[in-house]
Amino acid sequence: MNVELLWWEGCPSTERALTAVREALTDLGLANVDVRMREIRGDDDARETGFVGSPTILIDGVDLVPAAADEQIGLSCRVYRRRDGRVSPIPDPDDLREALRSAAERAEVTR
């Protein structure tokens, strides 16, 4: 499984997001999975990667929370919704765990 965290320096949520990803991986017994960090440095970089905000977490290349069609590509902090409806700069830990679990199961099936 490939886990990639796309981040931009204008957002203070990178460390928190990384911790959340690592905790979710550990909970699922996947602590050995590496989290690749990729900095988005400018508008060109954002356009090339379709970056809709920091942090964006890709699991096997797929956005953990698919961006809405009208989501603006560019350097900004991403708005997530917790399961209880609260706004958050990082994904809900349950969404994170669920996406990682699904990816791990898919990887198991295709092995």
Partner 1 sequence: MSLSIGQVAPDFSLLDTEGRKWSVAGYDGAPATVVVFTCNHCPYALAWHDRIVDVAREYQSRGVRVLAVNSNDADRYPRDSFDAMKDRVAKEDWPMPYLHDATQEVARAYGAKVTPDVFVLDAEDRLRYRGAPDADYDNPGERAEWLREALDAVLDGSILERPETKPVGCSIKWKA
Which tokens sit at 49? 């990667």
Beta-carbon contacts of residue 6 (< 8 Å; ≥ 6 apart): 38, 40, 49, 51, 54, 55, 56, 57, 58
Assess 79 for contact with partner 1 (CB under 8 A): yes
Cα–Cα distance, 70 to 93 (Å, whole number): 25
Using the rule CB under 8 A, which residue among 13, 20, 64, 95 binds partner 1?
A: 13
Using the rule CB under 8 A, which residue among 37, 48, 50, 72 binds partner 1?
A: 72
Pick between residue 2 and residue 76 the one whose CB is nearest to partner 1.
76
Give me the least distance between CB of 16 and partner 1, in Å please: 9
CA 16 to chain centre: 11
Using the rule CB under 8 A, which residue among 1, 23, 30, 89 binds partner 1?
A: 89
